[in-house]
Amino acid sequence: MSDRDLDLQLVERVRQGDQRAFGILVEKYQRKLMRLLSRMVRDQHEVEDIAQEAFIKAYRALPQFRGDAAFYTWLYRIAVNTAKNYLSSRNRSMPTVSDQAMNDEDEPDERLVAQDIATPETELLSKQVAIAVNQAVDALPEELRQAITLREIEGMSYEEIAETMACPIGTVRSRIFRAREAIATKLRPILGTADDKRW
Amino acid sequence: MKIHVMTESTMPSQSEQQNSPAESRHENLSALIDGELSDGMARIAITQLGHSPGDLARLGEYLAIGDAMRGLNTRHDGFSARVMAELENEPVVLAPVQKKRESRPTLWLAAATAAAITWVVWQSNPRDDLAVPLASVQQTAPQFDEASPYLAAHQDFAQAVISTQEMRFTKASLEIRP
Domain boundaries, chain B: 1-100, 105-166
Q: Which residues does chain A have within 8 Å of residue B11's beta carbon, measured at their own beta carbons? A: 168, 170
Spatial separation of the C-alpha atoms in residues B14 and B54, rounded to whole Å: 24
Q: ipTM score of the complex? A: 0.79
List pLDDT tens digits, range B123-163: 666 555 444 444 444 444 445 455 556 555 655 554 444 44
Alpha-carbon distances of B102 from A32, B96, B178, rounded to whole Å: 41, 15, 9
Contact of A62 with chain B, judged by CB distance below 8 Å, is answered with: yes
Contact flag B80-A171 (C-beta cutoff 8 Å): no
**Of B16, B43, B46, B65, which to mutate for an interface test with A (greatest number of A Cβ within 10 Å)?**
B65
Closest by Cβ to A122, choosing from B14, B27, B73: B73
Ranges of residues in chain B whose predicted pLDDT is under 70: 1-18, 73-77, 93-110, 121-178
pTM exceeds 0.80, yes or no: no
- A177-A113-A66 Cα angle (round to 5): 70
Contact of A20 with chain B, judged by CB distance below 8 Å, is answered with: yes
List pLDDT tens digits, range A13-51: 888 888 888 988 998 999 889 888 988 888 888 999 999
**Start-to-end CA span in chain A (Å):** 26
Q: Which residues does chain A have within 8 Å of residue B53's beta carbon, measured at their own beta carbons? A: 198-199
Spatial separation of the C-alpha atoms in residues B55 and B45, rounded to whole Å: 10
In sequence order, which ranges of A38-168 are alpha helices (DSSP H)?
44-61, 71-89, 99-103, 120-138, 142-152, 158-165
Q: What is the pLDDT of residue B17?
A: 55
The more confidently predicted of residues A82 and A102 is A82
List pLDDT tens digits, range A49-85: 999 999 999 999 998 888 888 999 999 999 999 999 9
Closest by Cβ to A180, choosing from B30, B35, B94: B30
List pLDDT tens digits, range A115-158: 444 556 666 666 777 888 889 999 999 999 999 999 999 999 99
For residue B174, which of B106, B122, B116 has the smallest C-alpha distance?
Answer: B106
Residues 31-60 of A with CB under 8 A from B: 31-32, 34-35, 38, 48, 51-52, 55-56, 59-60
- Residue A137: count of CB within 10 angstroms of its CB: 21
Q: Which residues of A40-72 are buried (b: 16+ CB within 10 A; e: fewer)?
A: bbeebebbbbbbbbbbbebbeebeebeeebebb
